[in-house]
Structure 1
Amino acid sequence: MKDHRRKSLHKGDPDVGFAPKGRSYGGDRLRASSLCKLAVVFGCLVLSVLTFSAFRLFGVSVHPVLVTPWQQSRTLNSISAAASGNAADLPAVHLHHQIPSPIALRRAVSSPDLVLLFVTLNASSLNPISSSDLLCLYFPPSSSSPNLSLRPVSSDLNQGILRCPLQPPGHLVSVGISAASSAPRPILPLQWDLLVYESLLDSADNSTIVFAKGLNLRPGRLSDPSRYDCVFGWDLSRPRFLITSAAITAAQEVIRCETPLSVLRRMANASPKLPPIMVSIRDRGGRGAHPILPSVAIAAATTAHSVLPSGSFAGISKLRQSEHRHQMCICTMLRNQARSLAEWIIYHGQIGVGQWFIYDNNSDDEIEDELSKLSEYNITRRVWPWVKSQEAGFAHCAVMARGSCDWVGFIDVDEFLFLPSPELTLDKILTNYTVKTPEIAELRTTCHTFGPSGQRTAPPEGVTTGYTCRTAAPERHKSIVRPAALSTSLVNVVHHFHLRSGLRYVNIDRSTMVVNHYKYQAWEVFKEKFYRRVATYVVDWQDEENAGSKDRAPGLGTRPVEPPDWPSRFCEVRDKGLRDRVLRIFADPSTRRLPWQRS
């Protein structure tokens, strides 16, 4: 009976027989149990070692990346060796969550010559952080340690933006602090040309306007909005928790949607303890397996004065408009034009402009310092880091200006409105169209293009008095529009907008008003246009793309080499009208110096 039990216990195991004499079955069982325990412990140790190795190997990213030779950008080449560091010089960086970093990295976007880092400073940090404290960190694929650190190109930390030299191909990016031993985990930057990059809540109807690249909509044309949805949520990677709203209009890079009621409530009762609401676009036509575009856009109201009403939302009211209005405002987009701002703003302030909206496209020439010297003027600077987005920026500006401006002119900082007749003023012209012809919503003004006028260096007295020779034939026009009269699609081709039904434009006679465009200045100034333009159609003049664009100089091509006859080019008509007006109004009677001349 005893042997039978043993056989039944080992049934099915041919290698197990009866226990030999002198050894009990209970002892075998105990030893087997001990061996099993040892095997389990040994297996756990092996698994721990493998897990730790895997963590070291894939701690940064588990995505396989093809590493290609590093093609440095011009931004990187322009940075001195002293600003960079090799692996031996890098500070010890810890990526562990247990060591809190005084700065958080939210997102990163790679553009043609920069990588934009969107950061949040830790408000509880004992020591304030400045851009001089920061380092751009670059991590090779599948590495938990950076192999390169560079100083930022520029920053707007008050708006959460750090601009770093372009990362090597396949590298992840993070941000470090010179005196700190911790850094946020590195991330792979999003691509600038497939991205939802801005959004705002329109105060006119509480709709949401979304700005996106990668939709490939035709320029200057309306598109079918039925294939698009706006998507709202705290985490756009979790489709089950997203709210969608159908598009109302679609054109160029602008999609307009109804804003869901729950989003309006959340914006009206915003709390710093809750994450912001992200906005993106879903393409119903399908974008492979990922119909929702990557996004860095946060749901935002139009202006600081645009406050949603609290209480009942049964019938959403319009956002409160700004109480003080200006008859004339100006919107511009620029990069590294700080030296030109004083003349441009002081002159236009004298002729009747009440507010300036400056969309700054990644300037690194101390523009904030220059604007601080013009504090008596009503200037709003908005960081607009997006490439090839002038039309979108102007659409954004038109909505932002509508609450405080009756008319808005869209001109560059090298363009000056000039009224040839001393009897006319900007106020009289705009009042005439506002009162007598309210169906006129856009004034198209002819441009006169000025050349170097014999100047070999930038004239210290400024462009309006330094350049006095222009081409005979006028170029394209620039527009002054009523922002409240624009089509809800916000379609524009930089120099004019689509208007609402029943409204129209008028061409302003050249004897009434023109735009003096100081386009072709002394070579040392003009050559800067060869690199990193903000214009819509030409990013870099040395690229062959859009070689026939009017943004280029006729006959100059794509080589940044000064032609021997450059100072005398584009000179067909001597025109001193604005020069004489400026000297009469602004020149100091004793010194003849102008208020914007540098000492």
Structure 2
Amino acid sequence: PEPARAHRHDAPLVLFPASTVGNAGDGASGRSPEMLKWSDRIVYESVVIVGGDVLVFAKGVNRRKKVNRAAADIRCLYYRADAGNAVASLPATTSAQQVFRCPPPPATTPVDLELRVTLAVVGEQPIPSLATYDLPRRRDSPPMSSHVTESTPSGKRLICACTMVRDVAKFLREWVVYHAAVGVDRFYVYDNGSEDDLVDQVRHLTSDGFEVFTMSWPWPKTLEAALSYSAAVHRDSCEWMVFIDVDEFLFSPHWVHSENPTKSMLHSITTVGEDIGQVSMWCADFGPSGQTAHPKEGVIQGYTCRRQIMERRKSLVRLGAVDRSLTNSVHYFLLQPGFRSKWNTRVRVNHYKYQAWDEFKVKFRRRASTYTVDWTNKKNPRSNDRTPGLGFEAVEPAGWPHRFCEVNDTLLRDVTRRWYGLGFGNKLGRRRIIGTTPGSSYNV
């Protein structure tokens, strides 16, 4: 399997210059590499999905939130990587955010031909591209690179979880162990340029029986695009997908008297009508809870004080109901006609958002969302994404350990102590329980 790698985009990128692509059958001589920065307009990724459509990911085409160019104004260009000859020019079928759906090249295209794919807005030059066109993989091949062994079972799972990570490997085990116990069957981890021990953490988890798949997704500030990619690529692998961060944990206060966790806890959420394409849950934001460093007992047992008002939402999404455009706002997806969203007030998301300062200040480095301004940028000072009382620099405010503490909420701490003992998040308590793979078990 391919290990996680660090990717930096502050240096120029060497691209195959799609701007030299000619008409179908024309040659393009004298091509030379093109130097661009990530801040330029770029086609950066593509993937062939079930059914044959090609998703092309590009920045700089739809520049403003909720303002998209018409698909009819965009052409999908397939061209030879060695000579630049255009093999096909086809109209895009959807255009939303950074995701464009394209028809595949003609079936007569030689299978041994190395092709690249790019986009061209009508009346403009083709966009420089990093993306290749790869023929659809065999249906029995794994959906992405992983550390799961060949004995890992295939087949569709009821509930999967998708997250994007960067240098948060130390939190991964607690997040996976907990969610696997309450009903998540498979985990997809998109690595946004981690430089920590993510590879080792994933290897340990998979050797313990968890289904954890990783994919390198190095592109900065492309979270919405990554979630669109995941929703499309894993549609045949998962019935439902929850898109959450590793500091977010699904929880129901109705579980507090349970002696042991069971997969039915989350599986019951999916018992809804066939017209329900999305189940939304409120988020409870937890504060530092008096902690001045990462708590030795782990996140969900170490942070126990939260804000009173529950805001925003996260959603459990039926992948077959997602709109063809794959439009999302991180918190929810646009659904196909005939499907609707439903709120579930019995389950919430415990969001350990405001942690000990040394952990929290890392968020100043970069926000993951395409449409969220980085905190060091003074634009949109009243954005809901910003932290109340925080400036534009990573300077610890006075009294930080006791901020955002309005409700003492120990429900999840107490129930996980009953299930696993003290500090299962950092493997202080060890107990053997049933794993996600049939017949397996694992230690926590």
- TM-score between the two structures when normalised by the length of structure 1: 0.61
- Structure 1, residues 530-558: CA drift from partner, whole Å, max 9, x if none? 11232334464212233333222112021
Letter matched to residue 460 of structure 1: K
In structure 2, what is the equivalent of residue 43 of structure 1? none
SS in 2 for 1:532: coil
In structure 1, what is the equivalent of residue 384 of structure 2? 550
In structure 1, what is the equivalent of residue 118 of structure 2? 280
Contact in 2 for aligned 1:418/1:515 (Cα 8 Å): yes
In structure 1, what is the equivalent of residue 264 of structure 2? 427
Q: 2:90 aligns with which of 234, 245, 254?
A: 245
In structure 2, what is the equivalent of residue 442 of structure 1? 278
Contact in 2 for aligned 1:447/1:474 (Cα 8 Å): yes
Name the CA shift for 1:371/1:432 in 2 (closer, same or farther; >3 Å). Answer: closer
SS in 2 for 1:580: helix
Q: How far apart are the structure 1 equivalents of 2:401 and 2:368? A: 25
Structure 1 unmatched ranges of 5 or more: 1-155, 174-184, 308-321
Count how many residue pairs are aligned between Structure 1 and Structure 2: 396
Q: 1:579 aligns with which of 405, 413, 420?
A: 413
Q: How far apart are the structure 1 equivalents of 2:267 and 2:13? A: 54
Contact in 1 for aligned 2:159/2:183 (Cα 8 Å): yes
Q: 2:214 aligns with which of 354, 373, 381?
A: 381
Q: Does 1:262 align with 2:107?
A: yes
Q: 1:407 aligns with which of 234, 240, 264?
A: 240
- Structure 1, residues 387-435: CA drift from partner, whole Å, max 9, x if none? 111111100011122111110001000000002213796636645644x
Q: How far apart are the structure 1 equivalents of 2:395 and 2:4? A: 38
Q: How far apart are the structure 2 equivalents of 1:578 and 1:466? A: 10
In structure 2, what is the equivalent of residue 490 of structure 1? 326
Name the CA shift for 1:421/1:598 in 2 (closer, same or farther; >3 Å). Answer: closer
Structure number with higher helix proportion:
1
SS in 2 for 1:583: helix
In structure 1, what is the equivalent of residue 131 of structure 2? 297
Name the CA shift for 1:233/1:217 in 2 (closer, same or farther; >3 Å). Answer: same
Q: How far apart are the structure 2 equivalents of 1:161 and 1:371? A: 14
Name the CA shift for 1:301/1:359 in 2 (closer, same or farther; >3 Å). Answer: farther
Q: How far apart are the structure 1 equivalents of 2:35 and 2:130? A: 14
SS in 2 for 1:374: helix
Name the CA shift for 1:212/1:172 in 2 (closer, same or farther; >3 Å). Answer: closer
Q: Does 1:499 align with 2:335?
A: yes
Contact in 2 for aligned 1:334/1:534 (Cα 8 Å): no
Q: Does 1:230 align with 2:69?
A: no
- Structure 1, residues 429-471: CA drift from partner, whole Å, max 9, x if none? 645644x511001001100000000111110111100000000
SS in 1 for 2:391: coil
Q: How far apart are the structure 2 equivalents of 1:551 and 1:301? A: 40
In structure 2, what is the equivalent of residue 194 of structure 1? 41
Name the CA shift for 1:538/1:489 in 2 (closer, same or farther; >3 Å). Answer: closer
Contact in 2 for aligned 1:334/1:358 (Cα 8 Å): yes
Name the CA shift for 1:171/1:453 in 2 (closer, same or farther; >3 Å). Answer: closer
Q: 2:52 aligns with which of 206, 212, 233?
A: 206
Letter matched to residue 349 of structure 1: A
Deviation at 1:219, TM superposition (A): 2.5
Query: Once structures 1 and 2 are overlaid, which stretch shifts more, 407-416 or 526-535?
Result: 526-535
Name the CA shift for 1:444/1:425 in 2 (closer, same or farther; >3 Å). Answer: farther
Deviation at 1:382, TM superposition (A): 0.8
* Aligned 1:60-79 pairs, distance under 5 A: none
Deviation at 1:218, TM superposition (A): 4.0
Letter matched to residue 56 of structure 2: V
Name the CA shift for 1:160/1:355 in 2 (closer, same or farther; >3 Å). Answer: closer
Letter matched to residue 293 of structure 1: I
Letter matched to residue 279 of structure 1: V
* Aligned 1:517-556 pairs, distance under 5 A: 517-538=351-372, 540-556=374-390
Contact in 2 for aligned 1:449/1:518 (Cα 8 Å): yes
Percent identity of equivalent pairs:
37
In structure 2, what is the equivalent of residue 163 of structure 1? 7
Q: How far apart are the structure 2 equivalents of 1:472 and 1:542? A: 28
Contact in 2 for aligned 1:236/1:242 (Cα 8 Å): no
- Structure 1, residues 157-208: CA drift from partner, whole Å, max 9, x if none? x4897635844xx8989xxxxxxxxxxx9973453441011111120x3111
Name the CA shift for 1:303/1:541 in 2 (closer, same or farther; >3 Å). Answer: farther
User: RMSD of aligned C-alpha atoms?
Assistant: 2.9
Letter matched to residue 303 of structure 2: Y
In structure 2, what is the equivalent of residue 359 of structure 1? 190
Contact in 1 for aligned 2:4/2:194 (Cα 8 Å): no
In structure 1, what is the equivalent of residue 426 of structure 2? 596
Deviation at 1:334, TM superposition (A): 1.5
In structure 2, what is the equivalent of residue 16 of structure 1? none
Structure 2 unmatched ranges of 5 or more: 16-31, 142-152, 430-444
SS in 1 for 2:188: strand
Name the CA shift for 1:343/1:160 in 2 (closer, same or farther; >3 Å). Answer: closer
Deviation at 1:559, TM superposition (A): 1.6
SS in 1 for 2:196: coil
Q: How far apart are the structure 2 equivalents of 1:518 and 1:221? A: 32
Contact in 1 for aligned 2:87/2:105 (Cα 8 Å): no
- TM-score between the two structures when normalised by the length of structure 2: 0.82
Q: How far apart are the structure 1 equivalents of 2:277 and 2:306? A: 30
Contact in 1 for aligned 2:6/2:194 (Cα 8 Å): no
Contact in 2 for aligned 1:231/1:279 (Cα 8 Å): yes
SS in 2 for 1:567: helix
In structure 1, what is the equivalent of residue 442 of structure 2? none
Contact in 1 for aligned 2:5/2:195 (Cα 8 Å): no
- Structure 1, residues 107-145: CA drift from partner, whole Å, max 9, x if none? xxxxxxxxxxxxxxxxxxxxxxxxxxxxxxxxxxxxxxx
In structure 2, what is the equivalent of residue 34 of structure 1? none
Name the CA shift for 1:457/1:479 in 2 (closer, same or farther; >3 Å). Answer: same
SS in 2 for 1:496: coil
Name the CA shift for 1:217/1:472 in 2 (closer, same or farther; >3 Å). Answer: same
In structure 1, what is the equivalent of residue 27 of structure 2? none
The structure whose RCO (Cα within 8 Å, separation 6+) is larger is: 2
Q: Does 1:456 align with 2:292?
A: yes
Name the CA shift for 1:406/1:532 in 2 (closer, same or farther; >3 Å). Answer: same
Name the CA shift for 1:166/1:218 in 2 (closer, same or farther; >3 Å). Answer: closer
